[in-house]
């Protein structure tokens, strides 16, 4: 294993993590921004008002994107397992 291989392997793992987590993060960001604007307009500064909608949105996105995420993780894992002989050379 060369340092270039290890760096490429780590880069691919990080990109997979970012790609699969991005839908939940973006939806949480959008909901958080909408709640913040709502709080600023109404002058309501309740802590749970900013926290609970984001949690619900992230869980809803997780349920919606779970099949796609599972497919991505399965393909990535299969690709890694198929290339094990190449890794140990």
Each residue of 33-56: pLDDT tens digit? 999 999 889 888 887 888 899 999
- Yes or no: say if 54 and 31 are a contact pair by the CB < 8 Å rule: yes
81: pLDDT strictly greater than 80 = yes
Q: How far apart are the first and last CA of the chain?
A: 7
What are the phi and psi torsion angles at 40 (to 5°)?
-65, -40
Output the six-digit token pair for 82.
């198929």
What are the phi and psi torsion angles at 83 (to 5°)?
-95, 10
pLDDT of residue 56: 94
């Amino acid at each position: 294993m060369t340092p270039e291989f290890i760096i490429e392997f780590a880069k691919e793992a990080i990109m997979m993590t970012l790609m699969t987590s991005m839908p939940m993060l973006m939806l949480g960001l959008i909901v958080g921004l909408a709640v913040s604007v709502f709080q600023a307009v109404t002058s309501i500064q309740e802590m749970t008002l900013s926290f609970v909608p984001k949690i619900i949105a992230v869980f809803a996105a997780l349920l919606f994107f779970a099949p796609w995420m599972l497919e991505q993780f399965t393909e990535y894992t299969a690709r890694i397992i198929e290339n094990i002989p190449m890794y140990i050379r």
